[in-house]
Structure 1
Amino acid sequence: MTLQLLNNRYHVIRTLGSGGFSETFLAEDTQMPSSRLCVIKQLKPANNNPELYQLVQERFAREAAILEKLGEANSQIPKLYAYLSEGGQFYLVQEWIEGDTLTQLVQKQGKLSESTVKEILISILPVLDYVHGQQIVHRDIKPDNIIIRSSDRVPVLIDFGAVREAMGTTLSSQGNYTSSIVIGTPGFMPSEQAAGRPLYSSDLYSLGLTAIYLLTGKIPQDLTSDPQTGEVIWQQYAPQISDSFAAVLNKAVMSHPKERYYTADEMLAALQGSPRSSQKTISYQQQQQKFSPSPSPSPSPQKSNKGLISSLIIGGFVGVVVVVAFALFSDEFFPPNVPDSPDNPTPSQPQNPSPVAKPSSQTALINYYEAINNQQYREAWDLRTPESQNDAEQHPEGYKSFTDWWTQVRRVDILDLDVVGESGDFATVDSELRYLLNSGKTINQSLRFNFIWDNQREEWLLDDVERL
């Protein structure tokens, strides 16, 4: 669509960028004496269902009101000038920030010094602390979304994800309204965010990887993982960085949220070398309660979840399809001359009943392979039981064998997903899968996944897989 004049007021000068559900323009306000420049973000609903239009419109208005509040209260967030709908599309009109994004800065100047990156972090972390204090997660922090403003050289945080998520409003097979879009950028977003459960620390993870990019010139996809721990390896690309600064960044980008900083204030304190009051610390469980989407009514154990899977695949998970490639990994799970598991295997390490309300085991399966799809192999490895990890038949070289396999898989689609049963600390999920190797070969397979509940970590761990 070519946009020239919006609302008989905003004259488009040029296109700034475009994505799956949005397009951004630079425009001038013809009704202001200064003809001030502004940014127009055109948002396109993911679903053309007329019945959903009013709901999308309501959510859009609500999220726009939040943007207005943020921009008015903090000078490092662009102001919202207007929001409107026209021709079935939704538009935000925001303040134009003159300056370079962090990506452009690195392209022009090369890798940044430790002192410069620290200065950027120390300036942007209070902004995040304010945003999180409003119970909002940005969800798309990356070098492209932080601009160094030309007028004062202060970093400005742009492109909040909540409004874009509203465009993905859809109706599930159970009749519940939900969003088919998960906001974020592969590589910069952690696995819990990719699964639709962003936390405060998800933004800190993204900010940590942004800082690593500034120091190394390497995007996350260009970095490797430690074969023993699975954590990001980056310091060889910035050997001059002090141990104390590296420790702050390493904690921010830990794969498991419990091991990261819980708040922006805590990370800021670590950077500045001063402890913060524990009264402001927010636990991982509290973060989950704040930012986990309201649960939809759970389907019965025997009910197929085709609606859910269709939503995930159609929604795109930010262009990354949820993947499963178990069947091709036959050497890992089904070694030669080893008989298949019985129909009802007994998990190797039963746990005592957990007092914590358990999420669905189907979510655990989606999270596991979403991490693999994002090449976050350590996160996936950590979602397996220790017994599975230490099985010499499956993983003769431990984590290395695991990654050696998964780097050969391009994509796996979940075609169907059934929770066969969840009882106490055990769960079984059946799935129909289609996976594609880098070689181009495609194979379909039906598999049964057995999970064990980990009381300490409060999550399901993959223990065993068998063919159906």
Structure 2
Amino acid sequence: MMSNLLDNRYRVTSVLGSGGFGETYLAEDTKMPSNRRCVIKQLKPVADNPQMYELLQQRFHREAAVLETLGEENRYIPKLYANFAENGLFYLVQEWIDGLTLTETIERGGKWAEDAVRQLMISILQTLIYVHDRGIIHRDIKPDNIILRSGEPVLIDFGAVKETLNVSTIRSSTQQAHSIVIGTPGFMASEQAAGRPFFASDLYSLALTAIFALTGKYPQELGTDPQTGEVLWQSHVVNISTALKSIFTKVLQFDPRDRYSSAREMLEALQQSQIRQNAPKQVPISPAMSNMQTVAVTPRGYTPPFTPQQSISAQPPDHSVYVYQSQQNPQKKILGQIVATVIVGGAIGAAIALGVVISQNGGIVALWNKFSPFNRPVAKVPFYFLADSAYKDKESAGFRVEKLKSLGYKDAGMFWIPDYPNLGNNQFQQVYTSQFKDLDSCIVKLQEHLKYIDDAYCAYASLDAKASSQRFTGSDLPPSSSPSPSPTATPTKSPTATPSPTRPSPEQAVRDYYNLINDRQFQNAWRNLTPKFQRDRAGGYKSFTDWWGTVSQVSVNGVRIVESKENSAIIDMDITYQKGKAIFPETLRMSLVWDESSKQWQINETQRQ
């Protein structure tokens, strides 16, 4: 164990792993107040002279910048905190993902059922869509590189930086180059083992990872057909649907040209097979994946930081209510899917062949948004709805709608929030589970859905900007199972209203505080801080308002009680800040104290986790 600080900052506490490319450590950041835990990857560059080393260092920093972008914009990829070189070695400092790997989960809890494996694949495919659209191949998808954080899969250990450290990748064509292979034997497709990975190589590895979750067996235990080179998985996977078997059969073809052309195509096949297979009822989910369906809580989940600024159509976008028509004419539906697949897949292939970096501000994303079957406009009408999630783009919202349909919410849909001015002007696609004629009916369903989405709520969407949204949240429900309150009662508590004689919970106090921030009521929010915390903030109220003025939206995605006493509490929160077009997730630990004079909880201290 090294005793000195790395980069004069990071204290190594344990070794997590070791391999041919270097070592991985668990460390503490001594320059953060919380001594934040992080993962440090020590990478050994393969260079045989100083000039090559300098060039490798430049490439290393460039590829690290790519990892930084991926981690900042997607919560299912670890954040990159820093990168540096020291004593001839390169280092990446990344976010510590608290959870068990898929390997550890299966070893401890046993094999998963098909429903849980489907949810795992759907979530990973959504992350791969995000990664592949940026021209990046992961190259090492396997159970050890999927960590389940609160049930949600985080994809770790991208192989791109490792390849940049190999001098053979930057030699001139006249020099002898010895190949370097990134990946894990067994989970690698044949073309990847030969040093020529494709996007379809990641899909191949994902399928073998899913089979591991179903069977507990590694690819080496399955066997290989000596004639075709294909994995002999069929006899090991029993009691799964014919549809899932067909998907595995296609994605595990030896020739990558015979597999799905993209993660989108595989995801669509998986979702469509699930719709055909499942009856309209709640699908039971394995306990290990109980949180998998909560991948998006406003605006949590795969939320690209930019909405495409242009369309391939000259006409302005139609922001009517968008509902995925799963019962549309089969021939038209299939034709639409073929067109979308050919155009999107062909464009991706052409971009790769030409060495083009696929932009997120148009290009392939714009093509997908144009031809996606999620974009089916229907008439705008006032209605009550049960809110589930919200997203910056229609594609991700459509994926969530499809997931809700597969879970039995056959009336799930989405709409663009500004189309209903009484709800505000947040630039999000609102996903809902169903529509209702009255608030009482929605509240009945709200009590059920809160088990899966703790931020779910009922509201009224109206074309009249002056109409009340009648927002009704879980905190408005009675503590017992008594009948739901009448909608004639005030359904929501105004943050500025006189405090109720009943003391609110610390969790609700925090949500109310951020509601004040979102409503730009900075003075009232400032009063929710203790005098100590106000003094601790350099610049006082002015800096408080200046900083929050740069945040267009803050969302509380989860609240967990750490300690609760009569007049104090400590909670952990998952928060998402939106600044302009960028979205930044963060976990905070917050201490609160009860102020008897104002009859409210006040924030006394916060720390980043």
Alignment TM-score, normalising by the size of structure 1 = 0.58
Larger mean CA deviation between 183-192 and 225-234 belongs to 225-234
The corresponding residue for 1:236 is 235
Pairs within 5 Å for 1:106-121:
106-121=106-121
Asked whether 1:72 is paired with 2:72, we answer yes
Asked whether 1:280 is paired with 2:279, we answer no
Shift of 1:260: 0.4
Inter-partner Cα distance in structure 1 for 2:172 and 2:249: 41
Assess, with a 3 A threshold, how the Cα gap between structure 1 residues 210 and 286 changes in structure 2: closer, same or farther.
farther
Deviation readout 1:207-254 (Å, 9 max, x if unpaired): 111111111111111112346654322232221111111111221111
Are the aligned partners of 2:2 and 2:12 in contact in 1 as well (CA < 8 Å)? no
Pairs within 5 Å for 1:245-284:
245-273=244-272, 276=337, 277-278=340-341, 279-282=343-346
Shift of 1:78: 0.4
Asked whether 1:289 is paired with 2:353, we answer yes
Asked whether 1:210 is paired with 2:274, we answer no
Deviation readout 1:418-456 (Å, 9 max, x if unpaired): xxxxxxxxxxxxxxxxxxxxxxxxxxxxxxxxxxxxxxx
Inter-partner Cα distance in structure 2 for 1:220 and 1:166: 28
Shift of 1:22: 1.7
Pairs within 5 Å for 1:119-138:
119-138=119-138
The corresponding residue for 1:81 is 81
Inter-partner Cα distance in structure 2 for 1:240 and 1:136: 35
Shift of 1:58: 0.6
Inter-partner Cα distance in structure 1 for 2:24 and 2:74: 22
Shift of 1:282: 3.5
Q: Percent identity?
A: 56
Q: Secondary structure at the match of 1:233?
A: coil
Asked whether 1:26 is paired with 2:90, we answer no
Pairs within 5 Å for 1:388-467:
none
The corresponding residue for 1:154 is 152
The corresponding residue for 1:425 is none
Larger mean CA deviation between 178-187 and 21-30 belongs to 178-187
Inter-partner Cα distance in structure 2 for 1:282 and 1:145: 30
**1:183 alignment partner AA:** I
Pairs within 5 Å for 1:376-387:
none
Ranges in structure 1 where 5+ consecutive residues have no aligned partner: 293-468
Q: Secondary structure at the match of 1:39?
A: strand
Ranges in structure 2 where 5+ consecutive residues have no aligned partner: 274-333, 357-609
How large is the RMSD of aligned CA atoms in angstroms?
Answer: 2.4
Deviation readout 1:137-186 (Å, 9 max, x if unpaired): 0111111111111xx31100000001111111246585559674221111
Are the aligned partners of 1:225 and 1:233 in contact in 2 as well (CA < 8 Å)? yes
Assess, with a 3 A threshold, how the Cα gap between structure 1 residues 214 and 32 changes in structure 2: closer, same or farther.
same
**2:144 alignment partner AA:** D
Q: Secondary structure at the match of 1:232?
A: coil
Inter-partner Cα distance in structure 1 for 2:28 and 2:60: 23
The corresponding residue for 2:196 is 197
Runs (4+) off by over 6 Å: none
Q: Secondary structure at the match of 2:16?
A: strand
Assess, with a 3 A threshold, how the Cα gap between structure 1 residues 69 and 177 changes in structure 2: closer, same or farther.
farther
Inter-partner Cα distance in structure 1 for 2:156 and 2:172: 35
Decide which structure has the larger Cα Rg and report it. Answer: 2
Inter-partner Cα distance in structure 2 for 1:95 and 1:161: 17
Shift of 1:44: 0.3
Inter-partner Cα distance in structure 2 for 1:39 and 1:4: 16
Q: How many residues align?
A: 290
Inter-partner Cα distance in structure 1 for 2:231 and 2:272: 23
Deviation readout 1:350-388 (Å, 9 max, x if unpaired): xxxxxxxxxxxxxxxxxxxxxxxxxxxxxxxxxxxxxxx
Deviation readout 1:7-51 (Å, 9 max, x if unpaired): 111110100001101210000111111111100000001234222
Deviation readout 1:300-357 (Å, 9 max, x if unpaired): xxxxxxxxxxxxxxxxxxxxxxxxxxxxxxxxxxxxxxxxxxxxxxxxxxxxxxxxxx
Deviation readout 1:68-89 (Å, 9 max, x if unpaired): 0100111100000000001110
Inter-partner Cα distance in structure 2 for 1:209 and 1:124: 13
Alignment TM-score, normalising by the size of structure 2 = 0.45
